[in-house]
Structure 1
Amino acid sequence: MEEIKTITPAELKKKLEAGEKLEMVDVREDHEVAMGMIPGAKHIRMSDIPDNLDYFDKDKEYIFICRSSARSGNVCQYLQDKGYKVCNMVGGMLEWEGETV
């Protein structure tokens, strides 16, 4: 089983501040994202990922985000097994110190 690539909230914040165009997907539930999500992230609930595979492009890398990084880790494993490029934000939104929308 191939290890999943990870990024810390601080590393992600630096990349965004540097103007990097990143594909971020927040897999939390509706009531969680209502409390704020990272600007530019797309919201697809974890349970909806299998029905939204056509959204993902195998040539792009996606950074997955949840509250603590457990659910996003599961999503990363699932998509990586299907041949997608994934990265898990470790620590999740609990450790995010950047702005939210």
Structure 2
Amino acid sequence: MKSLSELINDPATHLIDVREPYEVDEVSVDGAENIPMGDVADELEKFKSMEGNIVVFCRSGGRSASVMQFLQQNGVENVTNGGGYADVQAHQK
């Protein structure tokens, strides 16, 4: 299994920021797509169609943990909780 750092730096990994757009406007992560937590259920098919690994993250890791659990319960196995955006940024090369 890849480490979080390896996942984050793999070009095939989808970085998904589940914070609200106004939070992303304040601080964003290079290469991340913003899908707010409230929109994740509506975007389930998009997540299911993603090739490669998915790393979800938010401000502190709480929302992304909930999103990861929801996705796994709905058949998305290739998802990892990256924690907060600062954690993801710290791993980026």
Distance 1:39 1:69 in 2: 18
1:71 to 19, 41, 63: 63
Percent identity between matched residues is 31
Equivalent pairs, count: 89
Give the structure-2-normalised TM-score: 0.77
CA contact 1:61–1:84 (8 Å) conserved in 2: no
1:88 to 81, 86, 89: 81
1:29 counterpart residue number? 20
Gapped regions of structure 1 (runs ≥ 5): none
**Corresponding residue SS for 1:63:** strand
Give the structure-1-normalised TM-score: 0.72
User: RMSD over aligned Cα, in angstroms?
Assistant: 2.7
Largest Rg, 1 or 2 = 1
1:97 counterpart residue number? 90
Gapped regions of structure 2 (runs ≥ 5): none
